[in-house]
Amino acid sequence: MSIEVKNIEKQFGQFKALDNVSLSFPTGELVALLGPSGCGKTTLLRIIAGLENPDGGVVHFHGEDATHVHVRQRQVGFVFQHYALFRHMTVFDNVAFGLTVRPRGKRPGKKEIAERVHELLRLVQLDWLADRYPDQLSGGQRQRIALARALAVEPKVLLLDEPFWCTRCQSAQRSAPLVASSSRRAAYHFNFCYSRPGRGDGSCRPDRGVEQRQN
């Protein structure tokens, strides 16, 4: 799904986070947003996801205006900077969450959900952790679970907020190619919000980098 943002403005009190930002991301492209911290990368991602309302400008998904579409309906997968895994649920329940909250008519059966969850956990190579709680995982493991959870609902767009902020995590290196492969495989649209260019092992080079500057 292609994304287009036009003339986005966002202000927090006196601070102008986004000033007339226009970008377009064609379908299937892996894009990284780069820039110094505080330049509005996360804000832009949150506006695309629908977690924040822009003060001005529009967001188009596949040519249609999605500016006022509710987060729930946007079908955007979002991996938060600190993953935001539900601490009271096991890894399995975390990944299954998006499927279990569907309205009754569209909700897959228990068996189907279990199959889907295990498939995703195998994809991120953490099938053996299904019964653990997030507190019992390492940073890198949490990150991959967060990715699996976001993929479970088959989003049209996947937004990763600083996916590799956890610089000392060895598994950042492991999940980078994983992100790339799962994205290409499923033809997802990825947006990285990636503030440390040069890290990673090269197998997850984004197709394109967009640099944001502080104004």
Partner 1 sequence: MAGNVSTLGRRTTRINHAVTEPLWVQLSLITVALVFLALFLVVPLVAVFKEAFSKGAEVYFASLVEPDAWHAIKLTLLAAAISVPLNVIFGVSAAWAITKFRFRGKQALITLIDLPFAVSPVVAGLIYVLLFGAQGWLGPWLADNDLKIIFAVPGIVLATIFVTFPFVARELIPLMEEQGTSYEEASLTLGASGWQTFWRVTIPSIKWGLLYGIILCNARAMGEFGAVSVVSGHIRGQTNTLPLHIEILYNEYQFAASFAAASILAGLALVTLVVKSLLEWQHTRDREKAARAAAQQS
Say if CB 164 and CB 195 are below 8 A apart.
Answer: no
Residues that bind partner 1 (rule: CB under 8 A) add up to a total of 29
Q: Which of 97, 108, 169, 210 binds partner 1 (CB under 8 A)?
A: 97
The smaller minimum CB distance to partner 1, of residues 66 and 200, is found at: 66
The smaller minimum CB distance to partner 1, of residues 88 and 213, is found at: 88
Paired residues of 193 in beta bridges = 33, 161
Q: How far is the CB of 198 from partner 1 (least distance, A)?
A: 28
Q: How far is the CB of 38 from partner 1 (least distance, A)?
A: 19
Paired residues of 59 in beta bridges = 5
Distance CA 79, CA 151 (A): 10
153 touching partner 1, by CB under 8 A: yes
69 touching partner 1, by CB under 8 A: no
Q: Which of 53, 136, 138, 181 binds partner 1 (CB under 8 A)?
A: 136
- The span of 66-74, 110-118, 193-201, 204-212 binding partner 1 (CB under 8 A) equals 66-74
80 touching partner 1, by CB under 8 A: yes
DSSP character string of the chain: --EEEEEEEEEETTEEEEEEEEEEE-TT-EEEEE--TTSSHHHHHHHHHTSS--SEEEEEETTEE-TTS-HHHH-EEEE-TT----TTS-HHHHHHHHHHTS-GGGPPPHHHHHHHHHHHHHHTT-GGGTT--GGGS-HHHHHHHHHHHHHHT--SEEEEESTT--TT-HHHHHHHHHHHHHHHHHT-EEEEE---TT-S-STT--SEEEE----
Q: How far is the CB of 8 from partner 1 (least distance, A)?
A: 19
Near partner 1 in 103-132, by CB under 8 A: 128, 131-132
187 touching partner 1, by CB under 8 A: no
Q: Which of 4, 16, 51, 56 binds partner 1 (CB under 8 A)?
A: 51
213 touching partner 1, by CB under 8 A: no
Interface residues toward partner 1, by CB under 8 A: 49, 51, 71-72, 74, 76-78, 80, 82, 84-89, 97-98, 101-102, 128, 131-133, 136, 149-150, 152-153
